[in-house]
Structure 1
């Protein structure tokens, strides 16, 4: 039976924290084995709120000598593999900030995806949207376009493998009907002329300011964006 991985986080519950502390007493026995069997010079001083006096291994005199020898080492050697309370706290803060940023990023993508669906239903882009949000919206839309194009190619290859007849990737829309309650003509071109996905920068590389509340570089903006060309609708004939 495999041992369950212990989550290395601070235990908030006082009772559970004390019980966990009392179950970790075996490390003193391990220290004794390392010192006796392997000749490792090590000392342990444990300050605990559950005891009035600190626990020490092996004894006070040896601890003082080991600490003195340690202070004689160069600072570079001292800092190697050293764990301090300050360093440990900074690492914990960094991990929490990374988790928070990932949650914010997921929420932002969900928000922009909902905005994309609103646009498909005929709503207009809010005029007060920031440039960074517009660029993020473009990125999300193009990610969905890429998924659609990949599915079209996969379906075309699948149908082509089961039939010798040439298969078209995209068919023109049928004339008539409505598109957002407007008359429409053929909007999709023939095979091989799919609307290209506009190459936009990812959300983590938006110029200037912040994106998802993180600093970004100005040199990564793609300023030359080629618009997707559309086949113009046929205008009705004017009767004199």
Structure 2
């Protein structure tokens, strides 16, 4: 069973006001005791009543003096930073109530426009009782729904793309470049011997000066010495020492 909302106004009936005071005072003292015990904080309460000249002091006069002394030692700005009286409390509640009311009005207006939109869709045309304000609201609602659908589609496409990318196998590495054909020949010019005769010779090609051991490559005699043609496959597979 939900609690009935209390009307925050002074009770005019004396007997009801005294009964409410006793009940609320006992509840406040109980809550003060609970918060200090459970949370380990310092708190005090001083309650004056119109029917009792002596105020209600909790937890004790010494405890009240300790809490008030600590409060007075704070800077003036810190003292009033979170201070709240009945007027400021009521203003805060009124502001929160107005914000809640505005939110509920916007939700109700959106529901009304949604119902109107479906009525127009079912009828196949805009009904005659729709005014300019409703038309502007329908245009805004359609734009909002379109943006929301587009956002959902982008999120779904991104999720599908990520899942497909995770399922696809890793592509194999590219194959190495093929070795040059043995039929390809490059021109070479004989420069001279290196070391003892018949062991190494020096040739000049478009790659620079190359040193070769005589029996380790295929050399084809050109019709005009000292020009040669050297197999490209041999150049590709041999370890050459280049002198530039």
Q: The TM-score by the shorter chain falls in which range?
A: 0.3 to 0.5
Which has a greater percent of strand?
2
The structure with higher relative contact order (CA 8 Å, sep 6+) is: 1
* Larger helix fraction of residues: 2
TM-score by length of 2: 0.40
- The two structures have a TM-score, normalised by structure 1, of 0.41
The structure having more radius of gyration, on CA atoms, is 2
